[in-house]
Protein backbone atom coordinates (compact mmCIF):
# COMPACT_ATOMS: atom_id res chain seq x y z
CA UNK A 1 0.00 0.00 0.00
CA UNK A 2 1.24 3.47 -0.77
CA UNK A 3 2.12 5.92 1.92
CA UNK A 4 -0.03 8.94 2.66
CA UNK A 5 1.11 12.53 2.97
CA UNK A 6 2.33 11.85 6.47
CA UNK A 7 4.31 8.88 5.17
CA UNK A 8 2.00 6.24 6.63
CA UNK A 9 -0.75 4.07 5.15
CA UNK A 10 -3.10 5.63 7.66
CA UNK A 11 -3.09 8.83 5.64
CA UNK A 12 -4.28 6.93 2.56
CA UNK A 13 -7.13 5.31 4.52
CA UNK A 14 -8.11 8.68 5.97
CA UNK A 15 -8.17 10.26 2.50
CA UNK A 16 -10.23 7.36 1.10
CA UNK A 17 -12.64 7.54 4.03
CA UNK A 18 -13.02 11.31 3.59
CA UNK A 19 -13.67 10.86 -0.14
CA UNK A 20 -16.21 8.09 0.48
CA UNK A 21 -17.88 10.13 3.19
CA UNK A 22 -18.07 13.18 0.90
CA UNK A 23 -19.50 11.07 -1.92
CA UNK A 24 -22.07 9.44 0.39
CA UNK A 25 -22.99 12.82 1.87
CA UNK A 26 -23.40 14.32 -1.61
CA UNK A 27 -25.53 11.39 -2.74
CA UNK A 28 -27.71 11.52 0.39
CA UNK A 29 -28.09 15.30 0.07
CA UNK A 30 -29.04 14.98 -3.61
CA UNK A 31 -31.55 12.22 -2.81
CA UNK A 32 -33.08 14.20 0.07
CA UNK A 33 -33.23 17.35 -2.04
CA UNK A 34 -34.88 15.49 -4.91
CA UNK A 35 -37.38 13.84 -2.55
CA UNK A 36 -38.22 17.15 -0.88
CA UNK A 37 -38.52 18.95 -4.22
CA UNK A 38 -40.75 16.19 -5.62
CA UNK A 39 -42.94 16.21 -2.51
CA UNK A 40 -43.26 20.01 -2.57
CA UNK A 41 -43.99 20.04 -6.30
CA UNK A 42 -46.57 17.28 -5.94
CA UNK A 43 -48.24 19.06 -3.02
CA UNK A 44 -48.32 22.38 -4.88
CA UNK A 45 -49.62 20.77 -8.08
CA UNK A 46 -52.29 18.87 -6.17
CA UNK A 47 -53.37 21.99 -4.31
CA UNK A 48 -53.50 24.04 -7.51
CA UNK A 49 -55.38 21.31 -9.39
CA UNK A 50 -57.86 20.89 -6.53
CA UNK A 51 -58.43 24.64 -6.31
CA UNK A 52 -58.91 24.93 -10.07
CA UNK A 53 -61.30 21.97 -10.11
CA UNK A 54 -63.30 23.39 -7.22
CA UNK A 55 -63.45 26.81 -8.90
CA UNK A 56 -64.58 25.28 -12.21
CA UNK A 57 -67.16 23.09 -10.49
CA UNK A 58 -68.50 26.03 -8.50
CA UNK A 59 -68.64 28.21 -11.61
CA UNK A 60 -70.51 25.48 -13.50
CA UNK A 61 -72.96 25.04 -10.63
CA UNK A 62 -73.54 28.79 -10.46
CA UNK A 63 -74.08 28.94 -14.22
CA UNK A 64 -76.69 26.17 -14.00
CA UNK A 65 -78.31 27.94 -11.06
CA UNK A 66 -78.37 31.24 -12.93
CA UNK A 67 -79.90 29.57 -15.99
CA UNK A 68 -82.50 27.89 -13.81
CA UNK A 69 -83.33 31.19 -12.11
CA UNK A 70 -83.68 32.93 -15.48
CA UNK A 71 -86.00 30.15 -16.67
CA UNK A 72 -88.08 30.38 -13.50
CA UNK A 73 -88.30 34.15 -13.81
CA UNK A 74 -89.22 33.85 -17.50
CA UNK A 75 -92.07 31.49 -16.70
CA UNK A 76 -93.18 33.61 -13.75
CA UNK A 77 -93.17 36.70 -15.98
CA UNK A 78 -95.04 34.82 -18.70
CA UNK A 79 -97.59 33.57 -16.18
CA UNK A 80 -98.11 37.10 -14.86
CA UNK A 81 -98.50 38.45 -18.40
CA UNK A 82 -100.93 35.65 -19.25
CA UNK A 83 -102.96 36.39 -16.12
CA UNK A 84 -103.06 40.09 -16.98
CA UNK A 85 -104.11 39.34 -20.57
CA UNK A 86 -106.80 36.94 -19.39
CA UNK A 87 -108.14 39.50 -16.90
CA UNK A 88 -108.17 42.20 -19.58
CA UNK A 89 -109.94 39.86 -22.03
CA UNK A 90 -112.56 38.95 -19.43
CA UNK A 91 -113.12 42.62 -18.58
CA UNK A 92 -113.42 43.60 -22.26
CA UNK A 93 -115.75 40.68 -23.04
CA UNK A 94 -117.91 41.46 -20.02
CA UNK A 95 -118.11 45.14 -20.97
CA UNK A 96 -119.01 44.27 -24.57
CA UNK A 97 -121.67 41.78 -23.41
CA UNK A 98 -123.18 44.33 -21.03
CA UNK A 99 -123.19 46.97 -23.78
CA UNK A 100 -124.85 44.58 -26.25
CA UNK A 101 -127.46 43.52 -23.69
CA UNK A 102 -128.14 47.14 -22.77
CA UNK A 103 -128.54 48.07 -26.45
CA UNK A 104 -130.87 45.12 -27.05
CA UNK A 105 -132.95 45.96 -23.97
CA UNK A 106 -133.13 49.62 -25.00
CA UNK A 107 -134.19 48.66 -28.53
CA UNK A 108 -136.85 46.27 -27.23
CA UNK A 109 -138.15 48.85 -24.75
CA UNK A 110 -138.23 51.53 -27.42
CA UNK A 111 -140.10 49.25 -29.83
CA UNK A 112 -142.64 48.25 -27.17
CA UNK A 113 -143.11 51.90 -26.21
CA UNK A 114 -143.62 52.85 -29.86
CA UNK A 115 -146.21 50.10 -30.34
CA UNK A 116 -148.07 51.09 -27.17
CA UNK A 117 -147.95 54.77 -28.07
CA UNK A 118 -149.22 54.07 -31.57
CA UNK A 119 -152.04 51.93 -30.18
CA UNK A 120 -152.97 54.66 -27.70
CA UNK A 121 -152.96 57.33 -30.41
CA UNK A 122 -155.04 55.08 -32.64
CA UNK A 123 -157.50 54.51 -29.80
CA UNK A 124 -157.76 58.24 -29.12
CA UNK A 125 -158.21 58.89 -32.83
CA UNK A 126 -160.88 56.19 -33.11
CA UNK A 127 -162.66 57.63 -30.07
CA UNK A 128 -162.55 61.08 -31.56
CA UNK A 129 -163.92 59.83 -34.85
CA UNK A 130 -166.67 57.95 -33.07
CA UNK A 131 -167.53 61.09 -31.11
CA UNK A 132 -167.57 63.15 -34.29
CA UNK A 133 -169.73 60.61 -36.02
CA UNK A 134 -172.15 60.66 -33.11
CA UNK A 135 -172.38 64.45 -33.07
Report CA dihedral (57, 62, 64, 67) to the nearest 10 degrees.
Answer: -160
- 35, 29 contact by CB (below 8 A): no
Report how many helices (DSSP H) and strands (DSSP E) the chain contains, helices first. Answer: 1, 0
Percent of all residues in the chain with a pLDDT value above 70, rounded to a whole number: 90
Report pLDDT digits (tens) over 13-47. 677 788 888 888 888 989 999 999 999 999 999 99
pLDDT at 10 over 70: no
- Mean residue pLDDT across the chain: 86
Write down the pLDDT at residue 122: 83
d(CA 111, CA 27): 124
Largest CA-CA distance found in the chain, in angstroms, rounded: 189
pLDDT at 55 over 80: yes
Which of 24, 47, 43 has its CA nearest to residue 35?
A: 43
d(CA 91, CA 86): 9
Write down the pLDDT at residue 9: 60
d(CA 87, CA 100): 20
Indicate the pLDDT class of residue 104, thresholds 50, 70 and 90.
Answer: very high
Write down the pLDDT at residue 13: 65
pLDDT at 67 over 70: yes
pLDDT at 105 over 90: yes
Which residues touch 15 (CB under 8 Å, ≥6 apart)?
4
Amino acid sequence: MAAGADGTTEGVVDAATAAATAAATAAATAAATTAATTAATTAATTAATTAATMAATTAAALAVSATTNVTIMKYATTAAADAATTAATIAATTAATIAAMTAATTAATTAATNVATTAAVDAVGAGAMATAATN
